[in-house]
Amino acid sequence: MATGDPMRSRDSVGRRAFVVGAGAAALFAGGGTAAAAGVEPSGVAEGAAPASAALQGTLPDFHPLLKDELRFPLAWGTSPIRDFRTWRRAARAKVEEHLFVARDDTPYAPEFGERRAEGDDCTRELVTFSLSRYGRVRGALLTPHGTGPFPAVLLLHDHGAKFDIGKEKLVRPWFDDTRLTSAQAWADRYFSGRFVGDELARRGYVVLAVDALGWGDRGPVTYEEQQALASNFYNLGSSLAGLMAREDARAAAFLAGLDRVDRHRVAALGFSMGAFRAWQTAALSDDIAAAASVCWMTGIKEVMVPGNNILRGQSSYYMLHAGLARHLDFPDVASIGAPKPMLFLHGGQDPLFTSEGVRVAHEKLRAVWRSRHAGERLDIRVRPDLGHVFTAPMQDDAFAWLDAVL
């Protein structure tokens, strides 16, 4: 969290004299005292609500009160809806309402075969298709040798503040030596030097990976530009996170509809932001039969603590559906996918997620799957010795799990 902000030092006395914190006003309306509320005396007239500091770092000073207002009334078990299928429809509709991006039935009109290359285990090609009515994208498509239809995996890339590559983080870019150098360095850093998509293709899966807006062919943006990009989506009555959610669901439908794919055996898999995208897609798309999520699950209230990355904005905007937290927590959204098989892998040393946030989320997920008599379909594994990574042993666990459920 930044310190020494010039906006905070400029006329700070004046700010404290004239800005009344809503949190302080609420506390005093309830009969509290300045000492009990932790608010400094401000010299305001007797009987008036005391002034409050406007901010605590990047949070409003009344953020604890805002947190307390998050009750997640639409969560399964809290919602008055008792039939699970009815709840799932209502919860999914609420999520879609907060995407600010409409459903899309634009024909995909795919063009296959660009940069086709035959390997020992699979055929690699680039496919261009209309991911939405707003434009066409280019994806990496790997097809195993043999007779299909095959099971398939939609691979969803991470954020990592690295925008020159997107799909190439997960599929070896056979088509571009410059991207290969960058991608190999990324794989060495997070994936034990492996390309997850190539490993899956060797195991007999069709693999599709597409750039999210801002990465690879659809970028690159800079770290600073992504926040402006997100705010301009809001200016246009739309949402960056909502677009990504809709596009991921569209990519899932495209993959499931390929003749080479067994549409009943399609999974979503991702690491970090890609993990968020994986469980979100499983929740929003009936084309996804299972999801593996590596290093992204938490309770929202528990993760919003000083120093956490989510408080910085920037990358968070790709996962921020404005107002949704007044209805559903992150694990509540993931639970819309129940009772599909879902795998959550977490590193106990992951600095991006508090242990309490992970614990709360896992407990919520377990409760939902157990309520569906499907506890065995939810696989939660924590590696206490690991951080924010998807190492070869973790990959092997995920691949074995996919083999079992698909």
User: What's the pLDDT score for residue 2?
Assistant: 37
Q: Give the model's pLDDT for residue 335.
A: 98
Which tokens sit at 235?
């200016």
Write the CA distances from 74 to 70, 71, 115, integer angstroms.
11, 9, 47
pLDDT category of residue 56 using cuts at 50, 70 and 90: confident
pLDDT at 50 over 80: no
**Is the pLDDT score of 245 beyond 80?**
yes
* pLDDT at position 53: 60
Range of weakest confidence among 41-45, 76-80, 224-228, 249-253: 41-45
Region 392-405: mean pLDDT is 98
pLDDT of 182 strictly over 90: yes
Q: Examine the pLDDT at 168 and tell me if it is beyond 90.
A: yes
pLDDT of residue 54: 83
Question: Is residue 188 predicted with pLDDT exceeding 90?
Answer: yes
Q: Is the pLDDT of residue 41 over 80?
A: no
pTM over 0.75: yes
Lowest mean pLDDT among 19-28, 114-123, 186-195, 384-393: 19-28
Tell me what the pLDDT averaged over the chain comes to. 89
Q: How confident is the model at residue 34 (pLDDT cuts 50, 70, 90)?
A: very low
pLDDT at position 386 is 98
* pLDDT (tens digit per residue) in 251-274: 999 999 999 999 999 999 999 999
Percent of the chain with pLDDT over 70: 87
Instruction: Report pLDDT digits (tens) over 127-151.
Output: 999 999 999 999 999 999 999 999 9
The answer to whether 340 and 288 have CB atoms below 8 angstroms apart is: yes
Q: What is the reported pLDDT for 49? A: 45
Buried b (16+ CB within 10 A) or exposed e, 79-91: beeeebeebbeeb
Q: Is the pLDDT of residue 320 over 50?
A: yes
